[in-house]
């Protein structure tokens, strides 16, 4: 059921999930890194105002460690005779697969107070999840471990992306193939293959926000070396986007002024229209700043959403040079290059031999997601550039097999 009756919902509920936004602060102390907890605080004040009995409050939002302590102070400073117990139950849902992740999660994490009453409250939530999640996948911890685990999970995933991307740059210099390196190291059961696909970098609303929050916490706790370590994950991600864009421009005879560039994909990943922190933002901005005519095709993203993200990042965009196309054919017609920035499955199946006939010559493809069949494209006559793939003396990509 959906309702705007906050008072009535709080009065009727025994368990209240706090699932509000925790954006990064944009001004003041910690701006650009610290989490803005105004909405979490508002939840505490609202619950305390309308609660008519004992309540279990569950943090679903991604929050800094010790947020439950602040929420507890707000609740208890404004309560009557009722009692509150705060649990941490962070969500690990991925955009595009959220329902599947909820139905069949790798794990459910529940953190609670270590007092007897806190353990009872934790077990109540455990019993709810146990209706469809096997008990062995339900992990219980103290509050602080649970709050921190969500940030660390995203930081570790992003770290793998930045790590393999740093190796991709070395592969391009040495003639190695990052896909082969990824396959070789991913076969080691201690490492595993996930999040080892080199690309133009990670995006989305969580990874960068959560890492910068972790950096800020480390600094606040007097751990500058730890803060620098995690900051480097973000710095490497930025470097990868800029390096890809610089190589693109250099390959097009060091100028893209008034050249039409076809961009395939603007979302930060496939199966979503989300453009928050998308790597395409940096690439398109660098192309526009260099004078290119950027024609974008994305099956889900609207131009208005992209312009909002440009504005959020204080990037000035000439809308006459940023054109949204309704078909990939319109995007490539007369283009000097195709630039793949999102791994949409349909991009793998396009008739690139037909696209080449529509393009200026020499025709270039820059595969920022390493999803295309590079040798086939070279046989068609494209000059192909991919992430983390070296070149042979004759200028061809040094690849044994196509992805």
Active-site residue set:
91, 150, 206
What dihedral angle (degrees, nearest 10) is formed by the CA atoms of 197, 231, 286, 351? 10
Give the three-class secondary structure for 85.
Answer: strand
Please name every residue paired with 268 in a beta bridge, in sequence order, or none if there are none. Answer: none
DSSP 306-343: HHHHHHHTT----TTTEEE-SSHHHHHTT-SEEEE-S-
- Helices 178-186 and 143-174 pack at an angle, to 10 degrees, of 140
Q: Which of 312, 306, 301 is nearest to 283 (CA)?
A: 306
Environment class of 252 (CB within 10 Å of its CB; exposed 0-12, middle 13-18, buried 19+): buried
The tokens for 248 are: 């693109």
The tokens for 257 are: 């002024």
Helix (H) or strand (E) segment spanning residue 383: strand 383-386
The tokens for 230 are: 């995690």
**E strand residue ranges, 54-172:** 55-59, 84-88, 108-112, 138-142
**Which residues make Cβ contacts (< 8 Å) with residue 380, sequence separation at least 6?**
352, 353, 356
Question: What distance in Å separates the CA atoms of residue 338 and residue 227, rounded to the nearest whole number?
Answer: 38
Question: What distance in Å separates the CA atoms of residue 365 and residue 261, rounded to the nearest whole number?
Answer: 10
């Amino acid at each position: 059921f959906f309702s705007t009756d906050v008072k009535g919902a709080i009065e009727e509920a025994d368990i209240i999930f706090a699932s509000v936004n925790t954006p990064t602060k944009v001004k003041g102390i910690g701006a650009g890194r610290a989490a803005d907890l105004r909405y979490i605080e508002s939840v505490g004040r609202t619950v305390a105002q309308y609660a008519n009995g004992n309540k279990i409050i569950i943090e679903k939002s991604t929050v800094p460690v010790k947020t439950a302590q602040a929420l507890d102070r707000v609740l208890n400073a404004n309560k009557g005779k009722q009692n509150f117990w705060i649990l941490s139950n962070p969500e690990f849902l991925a955009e595009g697969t959220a329902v599947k992740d909820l139905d069949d999660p790798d794990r459910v994490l529940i953190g609670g107070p270590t007092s007897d009453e806190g353990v009872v409250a934790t077990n109540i939530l455990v019993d709810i999840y146990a209706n469809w999640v096997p008990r062995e996948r339900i992990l219980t911890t103290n509050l602080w471990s649970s709050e921190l685990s969500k940030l660390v999970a995203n930081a570790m995933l992003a770290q793998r992306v930045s790590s393999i991307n740093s190796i991709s740059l070395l592969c391009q210099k040495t003639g190695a193939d990052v896909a082969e390196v990824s396959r070789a190291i991913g076969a080691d059961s201690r490492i595993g293959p996930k999040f080892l696909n080199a690309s133009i970098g990670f995006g989305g609303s969580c990874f960068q926000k959560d890492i910068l929050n972790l950096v800020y916490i480390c600094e606040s706790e007097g751990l500058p070396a730890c803060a620098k370590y995690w900051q480097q994950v973000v710095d490497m991600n930025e470097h990868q986007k800029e390096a890809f864009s610089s190589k693109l421009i250099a390959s097009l005879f060091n100028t893209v002024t008034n050249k039409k560039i076809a961009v395939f994909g603007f979302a930060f990943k496939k199966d979503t229209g989300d453009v928050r922190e998308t790597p395409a933002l940096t690439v398109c901005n660098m192309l526009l700043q260099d004078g290119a005519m950027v024609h974008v095709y994305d099956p889900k993203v609207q131009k208005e959403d992209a312009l909002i993200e440009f504005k959020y990042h204080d990037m000035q965009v000439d809308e006459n040079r940023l054109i949204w196309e309704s078909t990939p054919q319109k995007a490539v017609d007369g283009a000097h290059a195709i630039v793949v920035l999102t791994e949409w499955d349909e991009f793998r199946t396009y008739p690139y031999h037909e696209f080449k006939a529509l393009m200026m010559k020499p025709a270039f493809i820059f595969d920022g997601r390493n999803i295309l069949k590079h040798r086939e494209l070279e046989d068609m006559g494209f000059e192909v550039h991919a992430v983390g793939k070296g070149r042979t003396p004759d200028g061809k990509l040094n690849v044994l097999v196509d992805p």
